[in-house]
Amino acid sequence: PRIEVVGNAAAVAERAAALVIARLHDRRPVTLGLATGATMAPLYARLVAATRTGVISFRTVSSFNLDEYVGVAPQSPGSFHAYMQQHLFGHVDMEAGRAEIPDGTADDVAAEAARYEEQIAAAGGIDLLLLGIGANGHIGFNEPDSDFASRTREVRLDEATRIANAINFPDPASVPERAITMGIATILEARSILLIARGSEKAAAVAAAIEGPITAACPASALRLHGNVDILCDEPAAAALA
C-alpha cells in the first residue's frame, strides 16, 4: 500500500476529501464503496461542502455501503442507513436508487447478502472503496479470523466493536450482535481502496495491518494482497509504525 501520514484527524479528512474529489471531478460515472463511523463523518462533511459549492456532483455516482446491522430498521437512528442519510445522502445530488446499503431487516439475510453481491457485480464492481479500520484490525465488519475468501454475509460482532459503536444506541448492550457486511474478498475486488485511520486507539491495528504478518488475525492485513491501496493516517494512528 501507499502510506501517507498527516498531522491530525482534520488533516486526514482534508486529504481524503481531496483524493475523493479528484476522483469525482471529471463527472464520469463512478461507483463508490462507502463506510460509516466517526472517521468518515468529517470526510463526508467536506464532500457535502464541495457539492454545495459545485466543485463536485454526485449525479454520476453510484454507491454500495460496506455494512449494516441485522434487525435494525433503516429509519432507526442507530442504522447505517440513518448515518448515511444524515452525513451524506441527505445533502448531495445523488440520483434516487443509486445508493445501496445492505438490508438488515431482510427475512432471509443470506439471500440479501447474495443479492448484494449480484448488485455489485451488475454495477460493474466498485471503483473506489473507502474503508476505516477497527481497533482490532477489522475492515467492514470482518472481525479477526474472517476468511480472506469471505463474501457478503451475516457476521457476529466482537464485544469490543459493539462497545466502540454504541454512540447511536442507548447503551452498548443495545448495539446489535449481528451485521451484514461485504466480505474480505468482496473488498479486495474493488479497483482502488482508500483506508483512513485517526487516533491512537488505531495505532496497533495500523501497525499490524502494514507491518505484521498477512493473517486473518488482522483482517486489514489482507489489503497488502491488493495492488492499489492508499492508507492515510494521522500521527497518533501511525505512532506504532517502524
Active-site position among 67, 103, 158, 189: 67
Question: Closest Cα partner for 193 from 50, 16, 5, 7?
Answer: 16
Active-site position among 68, 117, 138, 189: 138
4 is catalytic: no
Closest contact distance (angstroms) between CB of 130 and ligand F6R is 9
Active-site position among 68, 103, 117, 143: 143
Sorted by sequence, the CB contacts under 8 Å of residue 182 that are 6+ apart come out as 33, 64, 66, 67, 116, 120, 140, 142, 151, 152
Task: Count other Cβ atoms within 10 Å, centred on residue 73.
Answer: 14
Residue sitting closest to ligand F6R (CB): 132
91 is catalytic: no
Looking at the Cβ atoms of 56 and 133, the one nearer to ligand F6R is: 133
Looking at the Cβ atoms of 26 and 148, the one nearer to ligand F6R is: 148
Q: DSSP readout, 47-65?
A: HHHHHHTTS--STTEEEEE
Residue 163 CA to residue 38 CA, distance in Å, equals 14
Cβ atoms of 176 and 69 closer than 8 Å: yes
Closest contact distance (angstroms) between CB of 143 and ligand F6R is 10
Looking at the Cβ atoms of 94 and 195, the one nearer to ligand F6R is: 195
8 is catalytic: no
Closest contact distance (angstroms) between CB of 66 and ligand F6R is 4
Residues that bind ligand F6R (CB under 6 A): 35-39, 66-67, 132-134, 138-141
Closest contact distance (angstroms) between CB of 29 and ligand F6R is 23
Alpha helical stretches, state H, 74-158: 80-87, 109-122
Closest contact distance (angstroms) between CB of 88 and ligand F6R is 12
Q: What is the DSSP letter of 126?
A: -
- The total number of residues shown for the chain amounts to 242
Looking at the Cβ atoms of 87 and 138, the one nearer to ligand F6R is: 138
93 is catalytic: no
Element (H, E) at 233: strand 229-234
Long-range contacts made by residues 111-116, C-beta under 8 angstroms, separation at least 24? 112/180, 113/151, 113/152, 113/153, 113/154, 113/180, 114/152, 116/64, 116/152, 116/180, 116/182
Active-site position among 136, 142, 165, 168: 136
Looking at the Cβ atoms of 94 and 132, the one nearer to ligand F6R is: 132
Instruction: Extract the C-alpha cell encoding 238.
Output: 501511525
Residues designated catalytic: 67, 136, 138, 143
